């Protein structure tokens, strides 16, 4: 009631302050004329009375407006302020109880943060209960864990408002969980041979989280789910540190002896060639078992094998070395194989029928195993002799005649083919000398 009286006084004061009589210049002119006239007092009195009567009418109208406004104010104030139903009465009581809780917390110097939670529970705006400088809202930061003062606040609320205990406790637990992200993680492989590639997966993935991985080998990553390769054998501890972008509290998880990397052999080899026979030298390290694959459907498990290729071509020779850790390492090299047909060819002859160097042709033990053809060309690239028989040598005569070729240098070409279809071609020069 006291508040209504104060509000009424303020209302009347404002209405009177704002009210202004209508101004009419002609009225003031009439008033001045009445005061300054030299006519009889009776005439002056009548005019002055008429002026006062007109202004009284205006004053009465103004008073009527004010009375009507006062009646309207009280009538509509009672309608808007008094609860009209049981639900509205309960809502008002509940709001009053919540405000009393806020005042009690303020009185006992409690945390504005807890007060804010209470107000959120009761759907009361922050500005209606506390000054703005006491409440700091931050939608991006998680709530911090409850301090000892916050726990006293919770106990106070339990004693004064038991219905809000469960929800308030749930909000407090949520604030504790959001203080730092989940720092646990998994990997797709824990043990293997070097180089070992491992995929790291955090249990909590979010663009709002900062990740720092320590792989234990001096390497780090800030990726969400990195892939890291361990090149050296050993046992490694791995840690993950996480925090929200706008949070100061990090979460950390260290897993000891998580990654085990085993040593892998280093595979290397070389070879030597001798008359189509290849001797391989094994240069591998940290290995005790070997497998050679020669690329011609042949293989060997010797440490330093020998091998003969039967056909011309390019072969990929692979050596796979392994050790007792169960780790293996392959290494390959390409060998270009050319099968050589061995025979001897002289560079001069004297076709004079003296029994010494009278003919020209190749000599060798394996020539009979090959298909054979020999061609002789003069300086004009004309064929002067041709033979498909390894035993038929050139006697110095021009093919198809009994005429002896002139002394000079001639070009020879010999083509041989073995039973593996390997074709060998050779060319050279021979001097024909006539005495």
Residue 75: per-residue pLDDT: 54
- The answer to whether residue 366 sits within a structural domain is yes
SS3 category, 21: coil
Question: Is it the case that residue 219 has pLDDT exceeding 70?
Answer: yes
- The answer to whether residue 88 sits within a structural domain is no
Average pLDDT rounded to a whole number, residues 260-270: 97
Question: Is it the case that residue 113 has pLDDT exceeding 90?
Answer: no
Same domain, 123 and 139: yes
Weakest-pLDDT range from 79-83, 223-227, 324-328: 79-83
Last residue of a domain, one of 262, 280, 312: 262
Exposure string over 43-74, b if 16+ CB within 10 A, otherwise e: ebeebeeeeeeeeeeeeeeeeeeeeeeeeebe
Weakest-pLDDT range from 93-107, 284-298, 308-322, 403-417: 93-107
Strands (E), 154-233: 185-187, 191-193, 196-202, 209-214, 220-221, 227-230
CATH number at residue 230: 2.60.40.10
Same domain, 201 and 242: yes
Residue 434: per-residue pLDDT: 85
Question: Is it the case that residue 109 has pLDDT exceeding 50?
Answer: no
State how far the alpha carbon of 140 is from the alpha carbons of 86, 179, 203, in Å.
40, 12, 21
Question: Is it the case that residue 134 has pLDDT exceeding 50?
Answer: no
Last residue of a domain, one of 153, 177, 201: 177
Higher pLDDT: 141 or 277? It is 277
Residue 130: per-residue pLDDT: 33
Residue 25: per-residue pLDDT: 66
- Paired strand residues for 253: 240
- Give the chain's end-to-end CA distance (angstroms, integer): 157
What percent of the chain shows pLDDT beyond 70?
A: 61
- The answer to whether residue 427 sits within a structural domain is yes
- Paired strand residues for 374: 387, 414
The packing angle between helices 112-121 and 148-160, to 10°, is 40
Same domain, 215 and 191: yes
- The answer to whether residue 86 sits within a structural domain is no
Same domain, 308 and 280: yes
Same domain, 428 and 353: yes
- Paired strand residues for 251: 242
Distance CA 428, CA 217 (A): 64
Same domain, 76 and 7: yes
The rounded mean pLDDT for the chain is 76
Same domain, 166 and 122: yes
Average pLDDT rounded to a whole number, residues 240-244: 95
Residues spanned by the domain of 387: 348-432
Last residue of a domain, one of 232, 262, 292: 262
- The answer to whether residue 90 sits within a structural domain is no
State how far the alpha carbon of 294 is from the alpha carbons of 224, 231, 335, in Å.
46, 29, 9
Same domain, 76 and 13: yes
Weakest-pLDDT range from 3-17, 296-310, 324-338: 3-17
- The answer to whether residue 374 sits within a structural domain is yes
Residue 6: per-residue pLDDT: 54
Degrees to nearest 5, angle at CA 5 with 14 and 75: 85
Higher pLDDT: 41 or 141? It is 41
The number of folded domains in the chain is 5
Residue 54: per-residue pLDDT: 57
DSSP 264-288: --B--EEEEEETTEEEEEE--BS--
Same domain, 105 and 52: no
Residue 258: per-residue pLDDT: 97
């Amino acid at each position: 009631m006291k508040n209504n009286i104060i509000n009424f006084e303020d209302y009347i004061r404002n209405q009177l302050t704002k009210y202004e009589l209508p101004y009419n210049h002609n009225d003031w002119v009439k008033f001045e004329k009445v005061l300054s006239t030299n006519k009889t007092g009776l005439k002056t009195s009548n005019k002055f009375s008429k002026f006062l009567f007109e202004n009284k009418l205006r004053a009465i109208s103004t008073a009527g407006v004010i009375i009507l406004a006062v009646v309207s104010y009280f009538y509509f104030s009672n309608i808007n302020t008094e609860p009209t139903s049981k639900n509205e009465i309960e809502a008002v009581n509940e709001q009053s109880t919540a405000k009393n809780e806020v005042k009690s917390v303020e009185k006992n110097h409690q945390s504005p943060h807890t007060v804010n939670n209470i107000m959120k529970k009761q759907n009361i705006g922050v500005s209606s209960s506390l000054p703005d400088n006491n409440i700091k809202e931050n939608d991006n930061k998680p709530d911090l864990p409850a301090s000892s003062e916050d726990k006293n606040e919770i106990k106070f609320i339990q004693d004064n408002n038991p219905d809000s205990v469960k929800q308030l406790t749930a909000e407090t637990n949520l604030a504790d969980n959001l203080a730092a992200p989940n720092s646990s993680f998994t990997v797709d492989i824990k043990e293997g041979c070097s180089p070992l590639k491992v995929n790291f997966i955090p249990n909590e993935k979010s663009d709002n989280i900062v990740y720092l991985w320590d792989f234990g080998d001096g390497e780090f990553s800030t990726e969400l789910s990195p892939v890291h390769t361990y090149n050296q054998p050993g046992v490694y501890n791995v840690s993950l540190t996480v925090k929200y972008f706008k949070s100061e509290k990090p979460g950390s998880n260290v897993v000891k002896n998580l990654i085990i990397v085993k040593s892998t052999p280093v595979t290397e080899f070389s070879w030597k060639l001798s008359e189509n026979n290849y001797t391989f030298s094994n240069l591998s390290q940290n290995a005790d078992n070997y497998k050679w694959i020669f690329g011609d459907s042949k293989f060997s498990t010797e440490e330093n094998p020998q091998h003969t290729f039967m056909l011309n071509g390019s072969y990929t020779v692979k050596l796979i070395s392994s050790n007792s850790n169960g780790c293996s390492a392959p290494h390959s090299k390409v060998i270009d194989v050319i099968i050589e047909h061995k025979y001897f060819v002289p560079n001069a002859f004297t076709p004079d029928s003296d029994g010494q160097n009278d003919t020209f042709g190749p000599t060798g033990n394996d020539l009979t195993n090959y298909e054979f053809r020999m061609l002789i060309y003069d300086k004009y690239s004309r064929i002067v002799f041709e033979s498909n028989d390894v035993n038929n040598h050139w006697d110095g005569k021009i093919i198809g005649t009994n005429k002896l070729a002139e002394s000079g240098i001639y070009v020879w070409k010999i083509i041989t083919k073995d039973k593996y279809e390997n074709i060998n071609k050779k060319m050279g020069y021979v001097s024909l000398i006539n005495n």
